[in-house]
Structure 1
Amino acid sequence: MQLREARQLSLAEQLADLAVEALIDEADLTPKPALVDRRGSGAHRDLSLGLMHASALALWPMFREMAEAAGEAGAIDQPLREALGRIGRDGEAQMLATTGGVNTHRGAIWALGLLVAAAALEPDDCIPAALALRAARIALIEDRQAPTPDSHGARMARRYGARGAREEAQLGFPTLLLHGLPRLQASRAAGAGEAHARLDALLAIMAELVDTCVLWRSGLPGLNSMQRGARAVLDAGGCASLAGRRRLRLLEADLLRLNASPGGAADLLAACLFIDRVGGLSGSH
């Protein structure tokens, strides 16, 4: 008996695949300073690589549903924004059920959910700037059904006047477009291996981002150490150089000492990997 030929995936399923793959690839990337990776749990006592994988896989139905909602809406408007908010809250509940209440990907749900919807709206125009602009237009619409934000990131944004995940999206992901993605492409062009290029992209994000996860765990001293240390790695030649790797070890030791984990930067790296790949879907649906 021959196996049936696998059916072609719908656009929504392809986008959900790319989003989950981006989350898993971010989790697997090693060595990330003070973050969960193949070596261990970094600065986190309640996280593990297996938990990150399980969380990412549990979010696949949510990403597919978001893409389907955007495709059916066909336009950026209040009903779409509120549908995405409802789907996102349901997805977060499924994530927490899967992880036993541990917040693994709340920030990534926001960033990747917007980008998935933006890609589904106009799959033939997924160049990074256009994709980020559509995501920003969605993010700028008020979700009248959403509860008042009270996440760690929202509290840090209020305390320090920092730009949290919500504002980063509403501005069109400037840290990602101006720093993360260009560094990923530049490191590849310079001959760095893919893992080194992705680590360089993470560090480029860390060097610029006011990471509310770091602020929550270690305040301004942690944030300053993260940004200064990430720049030092890149200035030393990046993760593909011996001097850069030495600087990376020093950065990680400093962040672990401060219990500072750059979770916001990790979420943006996953978004960066998604944007980097999604352009290949044009014409395939």
Structure 2
Amino acid sequence: MAATTTHVVRLASPARANGLPARLARFAVDALLEEAHLTPKPALVDRRGSGAHRDLSLAVMTRSAHALEPTFEALARASRSKVPSAALRTELAAIGRAGELDMMRATEGSNAHRGAIWIVGLLVAGATLCHDVGRDWHPQQVGEFGARIACFPDTAAVVPDSNGARVRARYGVGGARREAQCGFPHVLDAGLPALQAARRRGDGETAARIDALLSIMTTLDDTCLLHRAGHPALDTAQRGAREVLSCGGSATLPGRAALYRLDRALLKLNASPGGAADLLAATLFIDKLVRYGAGGSDNSWNI
């Protein structure tokens, strides 16, 4: 795993976004793109390659993210002037399923962002509801609105037949659905605090985001890892993430060495923390609400 140079991702300026739904959709897409480009990540797609994935690449992830912009905008539009309800939950789910089809067409059948459509999409809806009732985009309030929506049943849903559903049944874990219903704890209580703490230390944006990912990994029952290689993969990921952080994080030489070891261990198991990656994207989305929600104009990140 070679060290990477600083890379600048240009974001859409909030002032150029056409209304609230378009602005939130741009934030969501930028969050997905920034997660994908973040390098080096353990066994995940990044600028070095495809990690443990044979059907994904950075180009595929990029196409998927851009294809989802109309979906995120539609989720925000559908949430305008609404309150959390079963009707809203069902409407948003229908939009999300249509977005999955758009994603699959853009990626020629690869599931690049199914989990992110659910997690980030609910936060887009939560941010919309917050805005409409005159509240600031406080992370906990956005998460609370998203969780209230997630707790309603999707009356149009069919019995799920997915890798995530099978893993939840086999291992008794909650997956992305429970994460949302519980108020996004791995975003608000792990990822975001780690991101902000690393920035305060002056670690640099790349290290801050990697440490946010690792903080999520330490306790997440990641269904992607469980699907690929069961508890050995989950245990390896959680233990390895804790080791990196205990060494001082990815900005330190011992932490970077531990990150390399974690990458090699997960690649050997052919497993990647895809669930944690989706939650990192959600963390970056919330971070944009905090930093740009009041109309900030800085539109570049060093990652």
Using structure 2 for the length normalisation, give the TM-score.
0.90
Whichever residue aligns with residue 213 of structure 2, its letter is L
1:197 equivalent in structure 2: 208
Quick one: which of 9, 14, 21 aligns to 1:12?
Answer: 21
How many angstroms does 1:80 deviate by?
1.1
Residue 81 (str. 1) matches residue 97 (str. 2): no
Please give the alpha-carbon distance, in whole angstroms, between the structure 1 residues aligned to 2:49 and 2:153: 39
Whichever residue aligns with residue 9 of structure 1, its letter is N
How many angstroms does 1:147 deviate by?
1.5
How many angstroms does 1:41 deviate by?
0.2
1:36 equivalent in structure 2: 45
How many angstroms does 1:75 deviate by?
1.2
SS of the equivalent of 1:268 reads helix
Could you list the per-position Cα deviations for residues 152-173 of structure 1 after superposition, in whole angstroms to 9, with x for gaps in the alignment?
1121111111121001100001
- Length, aligned pairs only: 279
Residue 95 (str. 1) matches residue 103 (str. 2): yes
- Please provide the CA RMSD for this pair: 1.4
1:58 equivalent in structure 2: 67
Stretches of structure 1 that go unaligned for 5 or more consecutive residues are 1-5
Whichever residue aligns with residue 233 of structure 2, its letter is G
SS of the equivalent of 1:47 reads coil
Could you list the per-position Cα deviations for residues 190-240 of structure 1 after superposition, in whole angstroms to 9, with x for gaps in the alignment?
111001000000000111100000000010000000000000000001010
Whichever residue aligns with residue 120 of structure 2, its letter is L
Please give the alpha-carbon distance, in whole angstroms, between the structure 1 residues aligned to 2:77 and 2:232: 43
2:248 equivalent in structure 1: 237
2:298 equivalent in structure 1: none
Could you list the per-position Cα deviations for residues 215-274 of structure 1 after superposition, in whole angstroms to 9, with x for gaps in the alignment?
000100000000000000000010100000000000000000001110000000000000
1:133 equivalent in structure 2: 144
Could you list the per-position Cα deviations for residues 21-55 of structure 1 after superposition, in whole angstroms to 9, with x for gaps in the alignment?
00000000000000000000000011000000000
How many angstroms does 1:77 deviate by?
1.4
2:33 equivalent in structure 1: 24
How many angstroms does 1:76 deviate by?
1.2
Please give the alpha-carbon distance, in whole angstroms, between the structure 2 residues aligned to 1:7 and 1:225: 44
Residue 111 (str. 1) matches residue 122 (str. 2): no
2:233 equivalent in structure 1: 222
SS of the equivalent of 1:202 reads helix
1:163 equivalent in structure 2: 174
Please give the alpha-carbon distance, in whole angstroms, between the structure 2 residues aligned to 1:160 and 1:222: 13
Could you list the per-position Cα deviations for residues 112-144 of structure 1 after superposition, in whole angstroms to 9, with x for gaps in the alignment?
110001101122331111111110000000011
Judged with a 3 Å threshold, the aligned counterparts in structure 2 of structure 1 residues 8 and 37 are, in CA distance, closer, same or farther, namely closer
Please give the alpha-carbon distance, in whole angstroms, between the structure 2 residues aligned to 1:275 and 1:68: 18
Stretches of structure 2 that go unaligned for 5 or more consecutive residues are 1-14, 296-303
Taking only the aligned residue pairs, the percentage that are identical comes to 56
Whichever residue aligns with residue 119 of structure 1, its letter is A
Could you list the per-position Cα deviations for residues 6-34 of structure 1 after superposition, in whole angstroms to 9, with x for gaps in the alignment?
96520000000000000000000000000
Runs of 4+ with deviation above 2 angstroms: 279-284
Residue 252 (str. 1) matches residue 263 (str. 2): yes
Whichever residue aligns with residue 236 of structure 1, its letter is C
- Greater CA deviation, 157-166 or 36-45? 157-166
